[in-house]
Amino acid sequence: MARALVPLAEGFEEIEGVTIIDILRRGGVAVDSAYLPGEFATDLVTGANGITVQADIPLANAVVDEYDIIALPGGWGGTNRLAENELAQSLLKSFKEQGKWVAAMCAAPYALHVAGVLSPKYTCYPGVEEQIRPQDWVNEMVVVDEKVITSQGPGTAICFALEIVRQLVGEESYTTVKEGTLARYC
């Protein structure tokens, strides 16, 4: 069974975090949500809009070999914490070095950029590209390039997660979840 790691940092975008976890699980992907070490070291992580989510594991317990992908929800607060956290940055680099999938949406491609694992072609929340590489930004809902999946924001979260399902589990599971959630626009 495919496995995904979804780090949830204080200030993450709740729609994105919960949608990634939900859609991947519907698609047959085992998901571990993880909380960051540090000042907010608890399994209860509060998002950008004040919604608190209980994470499954501490990020320090994540072993790269056990996962096929690391997928980051956006939200500037969470993104900045992921970009500044040594463990999160190290994990991103390890996923990329081992040829595993790396994914980020909304502002979170910035954390990939800081880690040096963002693909040449990417998308993100419009305006965030100014802090990354504006010349390489693509105005598309979801971009797949060099085993990196990026997406634009809360409204594209289902499409982003469905693309992860497609890449990890296959077209049949992608289609089943897409039809079951009425995600006709993906």
Catalogue the active-site residues.
Answer: 106
β-strands 142-145, 57-58: how paired? unpaired
Say how many residues make up the chain: 186
β-strands 142-145, 148-151: how paired? antiparallel
SS (H, E, C) the chain: CCEEEEEECCCCCHHHHHHHHHHHHHCCCEEEEEECCCCCCCCEEECCCCCEEECCEEHHHCCHHHCCEEEECCCHHHHHHHHHCHHHHHHHHHHHHCCCEEEEECCCHHHHHHHCCCCCCECCCCCHHHHCCHHHECCCCEEEECCEEEECCHHHHHHHHHHHHHHHCCHHHHHHHHHHCCCCCC
